[in-house]
Chain A
Amino acid sequence: MRRQRAALSVRSSALGALLALLWFVLTGGAVSSWIVGVPTIAAALVLARQIERLTSPLRLDPAGVLGFVTYFLRESVRGGIDVAGRVSARRLRVAPGLVRYRWRLPADGPARALFALSASLLPGTLVAAVGEHEVLIHALDAKGPVPAELAELEQRVAGLFALRLSAPGATDA
């Protein structure tokens, strides 16, 4: 109990520092703005504490975060070029369809939300529905290697949150 409280206050301080930095950047370092800034940050911290009681502890792996960011930027560029090429061709090169993908990420915590948010920004995939066991993906080219790309994204998200996934394909047993 005591340890939990200590961990909570460490996280509160970290969040507070982050919010203060954000405020500093947004206001361009204006000193008088802290009259509004300090109460706002305090209110945000109280609110965050209320919410945090409901969710599982968050763990981030620094190497995983870096890996995810690079992966995301690279894939964003690829996604944009991919879709631009498909729609500029004389004949549209699309074969849209829905693909079901079985979750390997755990249902609790923010991992699935991050997966769903990023999947829609990556090449050729769009999240249509999120279920307990499966996620429904709309693919611009349903004949492409959609499951393999989703598996990689899942792996990257798992890496960011320091989670371990079961081997791909094991779910089909």
Chain B
Amino acid sequence: MTGEDVRSALSLTLIGAGIAFFLAGSIGVLRLPDLLSRLHALTKADNLGLGLVVLGLTLQADDAFQVVRLLLVWLLVLFASSVACYLVAHSATHANGEPTPTVGPDNPSMDKRDGR
């Protein structure tokens, strides 16, 4: 086995792991009980998934330019998804222009332990 093979294998492993996180993100979006919890699944799992895919692809990059470009794409997506996440969460908790005080850790109605 050459060094090139090892690098290819490592690259594919990272990409595979990334895909697993994309899958987890989608499962979370389907299973979680409320909008805000779904956002968690999306931001964390999908961003890590993309990060791993990017890392895997950097191992196959033609030159350093491509490596920087790949990392830049990841950073931009991180930024964009964090922003979108805040906007959704903000509008969700401020449905009537005010924070909704009924949802809280001590409110058992929020404590849905099993999703559909």
Contact = CB atoms under 8 A, between A and B. Distances in A.
A and B associate? yes
A29 B64 CA distance: 11
Interface in A115-140: 116-118, 120-121, 123-124, 126-129, 136, 138-140
Contacts of A138: 36, 39-40, 89, 93
A89 to B, nearest CB: 10
A83 B40 contact: yes
Interface residues of A, number: 41
A79 interface: yes
A106 interface: no
Contacts of B112: 94, 96
Contact of A95 (B36, B72, B89, B113): B113
Nearest to B68: A25
Chief secondary structure at chain A's binding surface: mixed
B36 A126 contact: yes
A96 B40 CA distance: 10
Contacts of A126: 36, 39-40, 43, 85, 89
Contacts of A92: 31-33, 113-115
Interface string A133-166: 0001011101100000000000000000000000
Contacts of A62: none
A26 B69 contact: yes
A96 B110 contact: yes
- Chain B interface size, as a band, is 35 or more
Interface string B22-51: 001101100111101101110111011101
A54 to B, nearest CB: 20
A87 B36 contact: no
Nearest to A140: B40
Contacts of B41: 83, 87
Contacts of A26: 69, 72
Contact of B45 (A83, A93, A118): A83
29 contacts: A25-B68, A80-B24, A80-B49, A81-B48, A82-B44, A83-B25, A84-B20, A84-B25, A84-B28, A84-B45, A87-B27, A87-B45, A92-B114, A94-B32, A96-B112, A98-B103, A117-B82, A117-B86, A121-B44, A121-B82, A123-B44, A124-B40, A127-B85, A128-B90, A129-B94, A136-B93, A138-B39, A138-B89, A140-B37
Interface of B: 20-21, 24-25, 27-28, 31-34, 36-37, 39-41, 43-45, 47-49, 51, 65, 68-69, 72, 78-79, 81-83, 85-86, 89-90, 92-94, 99, 103-107, 110-115
Given A92-B33, A126-B36, A139-B105, 4 more contacts: A25-B69, A76-B44, A97-B110, A98-B103
